[in-house]
Amino acid sequence: MVKIGISGAAGRMGRTLVAAIAHNPHTRLAAATEHQGSRWVGADAGDLAGIGTLGVSLVDEPETAIASSDVLVDFTVPEATMVNLALCRAAGKPTVIGTTGLDQAQRRELSRTAEVLPIVLAPNFSVGVNLTFRLIELAARALGEDFDIEVIEAHHRHKIDAPSGTALRMGEILAAALDRDFDTAAVYSRKGCIGERDKKTIGFATVRGGDIVGEHTALYAGLGERLEITHRASSRMTFANGAVRAAVWLVGQTAGLYDMQDVLGLRS
């Protein structure tokens, strides 16, 4: 039985993770944290998740939560994630990170920590999305330079970063498949008289509204035909189940920076 701690357990994703852990026969919720001053500190994690009392109260001391867990799952914000990462390193506890919006300095620190600690970092933990990553790579290689490529993503009104981490990862995969430099190829906005489209670019379009859980499309536009590869999530549970799967897999792994391609055995 793998004992899992959840950081940010009162949030939308945190509550879903609590439910996923409770419903998995191989895992147990060991601890749940929230930030200091949260009105949910002291509440039962199961009650918040709507699955009944679990006997695990939310605390605002991440050190205590990490100490009682085999692995920490963190879907919070970059600043909180980096604090938790340092605590996991000190305690020698592996961590699963689903936080998006990490800057380059934070990613470098995460890579350094992965030299001594096993970490799974992924922009999206859905099994379907990670299969989509492979499909869009195959399509890009097959279609080549004859097709213009755009990435379109949509999320709920509360999402604070754009484009989504999943959309950016799609762009990185597409750029690598076409032997392009991602930072040079990426186009995040278009306005006014911008001229003819540069065939080497990969455009991003972002939609925010309502309660959209997550939609991602890679659009390949050629002359006379168009191909679209789309993944639509209808519940956060698909991400939570993938994260729990990653947590179980991560326990016992050697130090290193892994992603869901490793967890699912899709690494080519």
Whether 26 is catalytic is no
Three-state DSSP string of 142-171: HHHHHCEEEEEEEECCCCCCCCCHHHHHHH
Which position among 3, 26, 35, 155 bears the catalytic label?
A: 155
What integer pLDDT is reported at residue 100 of this predicted model?
Answer: 85
Q: What three-state secondary structure class fits 37?
A: coil
Decide which of 3.60.15.10, 3.10.20.740, 3.40.50.720, 3.50.50.60 is the CATH code for 2-125+236-263.
3.40.50.720
Which position among 23, 93, 158, 159 bears the catalytic label?
A: 159
Whether 35 is catalytic is no
Sole residue written with tokens 């191909």? 227
- Measured CA to CA, the distance from residue 268 to residue 252 in angstroms comes to 22
DSSP states along 105-148: HHHHHHHHHTTTSEEEE-S---HHHHHHHHHHHHHHHHHGGGSE
Phi, psi at residue 121, to the nearest 5°? -120, 125
Angle separating helix axes 104-113 and 78-91, nearest 10 degrees: 10
- Measured CA to CA, the distance from residue 181 to residue 183 in angstroms comes to 6
pLDDT tens over the chain, length 268 residues: 999 999 999 999 999 999 999 999 999 999 999 999 999 999 999 999 999 999 999 999 999 999 999 999 999 999 999 999 999 999 999 999 999 889 999 999 999 999 999 999 998 899 999 999 999 999 999 999 999 999 999 999 999 889 998 999 999 999 999 999 999 999 999 999 999 999 999 999 999 999 999 999 999 999 999 999 999 999 989 999 999 999 999 998 999 999 998 999 887 6
The residue among 142, 145, 163, 146 whose CA lies nearest residue 154 is 163
pTM of the predicted structure, to 2 decimals: 0.80
Containing 187, the helix (H) or strand (E) segment is strand 186-187
Decide which of 3.40.50.1820, 3.40.190.90, 3.30.360.10, 2.60.120.10 is the CATH code for 127-233.
3.30.360.10
Phi, psi at residue 138, to the nearest 5°? -60, -45
Query: Same CATH fold, 127-233 and 2-125+236-263?
Result: no
Angle separating helix axes 12-23 and 237-250, nearest 10 degrees: 60
Q: Are strands 148-155 and 214-221 parallel, antiparallel or unpaired?
A: antiparallel
- Measured CA to CA, the distance from residue 114 to residue 257 in angstroms comes to 5
What integer pLDDT is reported at residue 266 of this predicted model?
Answer: 81
Domain map of the chain by residue range? 2-125+236-263, 127-233
Q: What is the amino acid identity at position 267? A: R
